[in-house]
Chains A and B, each alone.
Chain A
Amino acid sequence: MCTTCGCGDGEVKIDGEHAQHEHVHADGTRHSHDHDHGHDHGTGEAHEHPHAHAHQHSYAPAHAHAPGLGARRMVQIEQDILSKNNAYAAQNRQRLAERGIFALNLVSSPGSGKTTLLVKTIEMLKGRQRVAVIEGDQQTSQDAERIRATGAPAIQINTGKGCHLDAHMVGHAMGKLELPEDSLLMIENVGNLVCPAAFDLGEAHKVVILSVTEGEDKPIKYPDMFRAAKLMLMNKCDLLPYVSFSVPRAIEFARRVNPGIEVIEVSATTGAGMDAWLEWIARGAVEFEKPRLERLGT
């Protein structure tokens, strides 16, 4: 059990170390307890939950108390199941905003080319934009090593049995990464089109990657992910002549679940479309920085 934040024992490892303790004695210097978990329920009033229930249900809790089973009582909870994760995500978001770090959460099925795309992105941004990467996989640190080979700092989270990154793991990883101010943080989620949709990590946007070697109907088969994403990158477009993938149909399906989703066609291998993607990042970063710059300016 993590003594700082009460996270349970698990198989989560960050750069090979168990996530729960190493942040306590990290390297002496940073000793980073910099995310005090704001939802510390110590005082008994923790359930005066800030977002009151907007819709009143005419629901009476069926007081069918079986006789002879002792004194039973009702306890109001009224909390979102993901509220713990969301609280960590809010902390991450605040830390990122304070330092002007634009964070993207890259999600896709396994094998869509996320890591290759990241490597290419980092190479193209060299000298223009500092990038740090948090890599999520169930096992191995191969992806982080591929990123480090580009010279960008990267940290690997191994989720063990977990099928997605959560905001708590990412908060720990952020503490270990030296994130320069005004940099770009790319979080490569576990390859999975289902669960990562529900877990806010504190990112500015989710970017979903769909490669043309997959089915064009993935957006309607896995609607939650495409609904959560701001941008869909259609990767491996150099292979379009060899596969029966209709780009317009894929876009139509994506807009059916998310009318506002933006789409960029890319090939990380040939570099086609990468400029449009980098431009999208630059635009997003400017947008993200605005409130902070206004604050600093006043």
Chain B
Amino acid sequence: MHEMSLAEGILQLIEDAARDQAFAKVTTVWLEIGQLSGVEVEAMEFCFDAVMHDSIADGARLEIIALPGTGWCMECSMNVPMTEVFGECPQCGGHQMQVTGGTEMRVKELEVA
């Protein structure tokens, strides 16, 4: 949804970590992205490359770990899988759903040199 801002957030976290843990080059970045986070993977890959350019993560490989979406169906009183934030319950077809998982946008780890 706003992958450029997110990529800038990623770079900030990387630069903070580089200061704390004394590394000068990042070769791979692992992100955890929930299926309901609104992040478009292709847009993220594009923005990632653009934002990392000329930084310590210039040319770094981006690995995205997709996390499944889940929601609480008020009708069924149970957690069910969700693929869209306004998706319907696969059990009862209702829309009384609260998202319970899959909105993660997290920098998991880095491979650094």
Contacts and interface: CB of A to CB of B under 8 A. Distances in A.
The majority secondary structure among interface residues of chain B is mixed
Given A223-B86, A256-B95, A259-B96, A79 B20 contact: no
Interface residues of A, number: 44
B105 A256 contact: no
Contacts of B31: 81
A80 interface: yes
A41 to B, nearest CB: 5
B85 interface: yes
A81 B29 CA distance: 12
Given A74-B110, A255-B95, A224 B1 contact: yes
B38 A81 contact: no
Contacts of B86: 219-220, 223, 256-257
Contacts of B85: 223-224, 227, 257
Interface stretch (A64-72, A107-115, A277-285, A289-297): A64-72
A192 to B, nearest CB: 9
A259 B95 contact: yes
Interface residues of B, number: 41
B79 interface: no
A41 B1 CA distance: 29
Contacts of B74: 259
B66 to A, nearest CB: 11
Given A44-B21, A84-B9, A198 B38 contact: yes
Interface in A46-84: 46-47, 55, 57, 59, 61, 65, 69-84
B12 interface: yes
Contacts of B105: 80-82
A41 B19 contact: yes
A272 B19 CA distance: 56
Contacts of A219: 86
A47 B106 CA distance: 13
A164 interface: yes
Contacts of B27: 69, 72
A46 B112 contact: no
Interface string B28-47: 00111000001000000000
Q: Across the A-B interface, give the 7 residue pairs with the lowest CB-CB distance, nearest first.
A: A195-B2, A257-B86, A77-B107, A256-B95, A81-B9, A81-B105, A75-B110
